[in-house]
């Protein structure tokens, strides 16, 4: 019985450990994500606003596409920039999960340049 318990414990520990694997630049990605969130939050606070439409009263969450469309109507040019930042972070996360440190660092450098614009 103890062999079965030990084997089960080892299997559980292995499953928990594999889910918690951090890639070669996970901490840099987390740091960059926090910077992006802060930058986009600040831009949203400064950007123009519009009156609430009827669709806002339907108790449905807006989609990223509907938010982008509304911001484009307001003339907010940061939508394209926000999309570029999020695509860069997605590339970094993909490279990180593949263990490709070089591609991850390149994606983060691209995001860094996009933030500085």
Pick left, alpha or beta for residue 101 (phi over 0 → left; psi -120 to 50 → alpha; otherwise beta).
alpha
Phi, psi (degrees; rounded to nearest 5) at 17: -70, -40
Taking the domains of the chain in order of start, what are their residue ranges? 23-48+59-116
Are the C-beta atoms of residues 39 and 115 closer than 8 Å to each other?
yes
The pLDDT value given to residue 81: 77
pLDDT tens for each residue of the chain, 117 residues long: 444 444 445 545 544 444 445 789 999 999 998 888 887 777 667 766 667 677 667 777 777 667 666 666 665 546 677 778 889 999 999 999 999 999 999 999 999 998 887
């Amino acid at each position: 019985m103890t062999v079965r318990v030990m084997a089960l414990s080892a299997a559980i520990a292995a499953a928990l450990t594999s889910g918690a694997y951090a890639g070669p630049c996970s901490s840099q990605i987390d740091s960059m994500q926090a910077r992006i969130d802060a930058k986009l939050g600040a831009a949203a606070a400064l950007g123009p606003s519009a009156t609430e439409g009827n669709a806002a009263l339907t108790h449905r969450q807006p989609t990223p596409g509907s938010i982008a469309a509304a911001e484009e109507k307001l003339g907010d040019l940061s939508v394209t920039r926000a999309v570029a930042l999020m695509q860069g972070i997605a590339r970094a996360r993909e490279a990180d999960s593949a263990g490709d440190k070089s591609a991850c660092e390149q994606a983060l450098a691209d995001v860094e340049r996009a933030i500085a614009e």
